[in-house]
Chains A and B, each alone.
Chain A
Amino acid sequence: EDQVTQSPEALRLQEGESSSLNCSYTVSGLRGLFWYRQDPGKGPEFLFTLYSAGEEKEKERLKATLTKKESFLHITAPKPEDSATYLCAVDQFYFGTGTSLTVIP
């Protein structure tokens, strides 16, 4: 069964404390792995697309990586404004349930 699983469900970090979010998938024939950020009461906002194992993309304090079975979203020295729910999706069809990130000043 095709599936996307994100962990942890929730993460609390001190400002400046780096960490990683995980997205594992069992979908065969991956055409694209997407990361989105969602703020409360708003629609998801696109962050990254990864297409092949070994690919990496960066944007400010965020870096996304991809292997054959999972993707990581690395957050370096986070700030309170990085607090949000981070969603991953495979092929824009299968979404994970998200990781709720809280960054404490």
Chain B
Amino acid sequence: NAGVTQTPKFQVLKTGQSMTLQCAQDMNHEYMSWYRQDPGMGLRLIHYSVGAGITDQGEVPNGYNVSRSTTEDFPLRLLSAAPSQTSVYFCASSYRKGAEAFFGQGTRLTVV
């Protein structure tokens, strides 16, 4: 089992560009989530999903969109990148909401 796979690992974007961060899990977990990690801020929840077709906002959702068409995939879309979105992004999955999470390796995003 690969666990949680994120692509790409590194990305540089120009302000205003859009992109999608990919996340896939092979553990048949119902719950998936996206976090961003910034120095001194800890992990902050962006969006989460309790199952295919169901998504909800976390603590810092502005500027990001998500969808969940399958159990396995949970992509994160940046609509118009801003320098404030420079961060490390982690995708995670759990067998249910509130259970221990399995994290991907992260995507380091720089917006210039």
Which A positions have Cβ atoms within 8 angstroms of B?
Answer: 4, 31-32, 34, 36, 41-46, 49, 87, 89, 91-93, 95-98
Contact = CB atoms under 8 A, between A and B. Distances in A.
A9 to B, nearest CB: 9
Nearest to B9: A41
Pick the most buried of B97, B100, B103: most chain A CB atoms within 10 A of its CB: B100
Which 6 residue pairs are nearest across A and B when measured between Cβ atoms?
Answer: A43-B103, A95-B43, A97-B42, A95-B42, A46-B100, A44-B103
Nearest to A46: B100
A92 B42 contact: no
A76 B29 CA distance: 34
Main SS class of interface, A: loop
Interface of B: 4, 33, 35, 40-45, 58-59, 90, 92, 94, 97-106
Given A31-B98, A44-B90, A49-B100, A89 B106 contact: no
Contacts of B92: 43, 92
B72 to A, nearest CB: 18
B98 A91 contact: yes
A43 B105 contact: yes
A34 to B, nearest CB: 6
A34 B92 CA distance: 14
A36 B37 CA distance: 14
A87 B106 contact: no
B40 A97 contact: yes
Contacts of A42: 105-106
A89 B44 CA distance: 10
